[in-house]
Amino acid sequence: MKLLKYFLILSLVISSCKKEEKSDPTINLPKDYGAGMYILTDQGVSFYNYLAVDTLRIVTENIYKKVNNTDIIQPKSLHISGKQVYIIGDKLYIANMETFGSEGTVSGFSDPVSCKKIDKNRLYVVDKGASSVKIVDLSKLEVLGHIETGDTSRPANIVGSWFRAFVLNGGGDSFSDRDSSIVAIDYFQSGVAINDFSAKLDVGYNPNSAVFSANHLWVLCKGVYNSQDPSQNRQSTMYKIAPWSNVIDDDKNLTSIYNADNLAINESKSRMFFSSTDGIYITDLTIYPILHIPGIDASFITINTESINDSTKVDYLYANDANQSGFVLKYEAWTGSFVGSIQVNGNALDVVFY
């Protein structure tokens, strides 16, 4: 009988130990972030609380490292969707929008450059080095498969809406390395999740960025720009595409404009902006570009609509300038008037608002 009692006591002790091992302590991170401006630099991610009153606006540097005690290696681009931010570096880094605590990482890429979340559990990552789009399962945090974009196509960017994504094959700097295609991928069909190649469209040399207006997809093509051999240079072009039928409706040569990139559109879908060797251009949807902000060498453009008071909203344009390292520059989008700058550690690479 004594033996039985000892056995029961020992069983309870073991059972109690097992329960303690299974219950991991929950770390409750402070919700310091959320709504605001996120600036990706070559040092990491910075947060700017632009919604606060002027005197309380500050930049908090390297918030991913601050919260998670680890660096983002080779940061390249930011994508925010739902309650998560997706950071492309040497791998995919996922963080919570309110705490910026890590929700996991995904490896398995050659040279990832951009991404697009297409539903709750899937993210498309453009892998420039592998000339493919990698399909990431967000519930398992692993690469499930890939869709090829063409040999040595060097895909540069991805946009998507409704049921279809478009991958822009950015090509290379020399004339012989150029590409002239975009690839359409369907990710839904009749309510069913798929990952199907839909079409390959021939456009201008080296497409690199695109935006959706109310009814069309606008694709900006860099042309060829070789600073070492200007004889190879070809001017930039813009393409107007009916995205749900994969039909090119129109195209236009951007006369005497070279190295066009970073196409952006305002909230009302009436004006587009892009960078070039001359500076930043503005155009309506008839595509007659006007040099808007001269002399700026920008590698990104972000348009954000901000409330000045209860009845007034203003579109602002944010960009960097290779000649002004460590700053994000702010302009009135319509007039091109300089408003001010935001200083950050390192070189600004991307800006996203949440």
Virtual torsion, Cα 148, 153, 159, 161, nearest 10 deg: -40
pLDDT band at 160 (very low <50, low <70, confident <90, very high): very high
First to last CA, the chain: 67
Q: 26 pLDDT exceeds 90?
A: no
Please list, residue by residue across 131-161, b when 16 or more beta carbons sit within 10 angstroms of its beta carbon and e when fewer do: bbbbbbebeeeebeebbebeeebbbbbbbbe
Q: Tell me the mean pLDDT in the region 124-128.
A: 98
Can you spell out the DSSP letters for 218-243? EEEE--B--TT-GGG-B--EEEEEET
pLDDT tens digits for range 219-262: 999 999 998 899 999 999 999 999 999 999 999 999 999 999 99
For 278-323, the pLDDT digits (tens) are: 999 999 999 999 999 999 999 999 999 999 888 899 999 999 999 9
- Where do the domains of the chain lie? 278-354
CA distance 195 to 210: 21
* Host H or E run for residue 342: strand 338-343
User: Mean pLDDT across the chain, nearest whole number?
Assistant: 92
CA 286 to chain centre: 26
Q: What is the mean pLDDT of residues 322-351?
A: 97
Assign 349 to helix, strand or coil.
Answer: strand
Which residues, in sequence order, are bridge partners of residue 308?
Answer: none
Residue 8 clears pLDDT 80, i.e. is over it:
no
List, for residues 182-199, the tens digit of each pLDDT value: 999 999 999 899 999 999
| Pairwise CA distance, residues 189 & 193, whole Å | 7
Q: Rounded distance, CA 256 to CA 254, Å?
A: 6
Indicate the pLDDT class of residue 24, thresholds 50, 70 and 90. Answer: very low
pLDDT reported for residue 210: 98
- Name residue, tokens 């709504």: 35
For residues 63 and 46, is the Cβ–Cβ distance under 8 A? yes
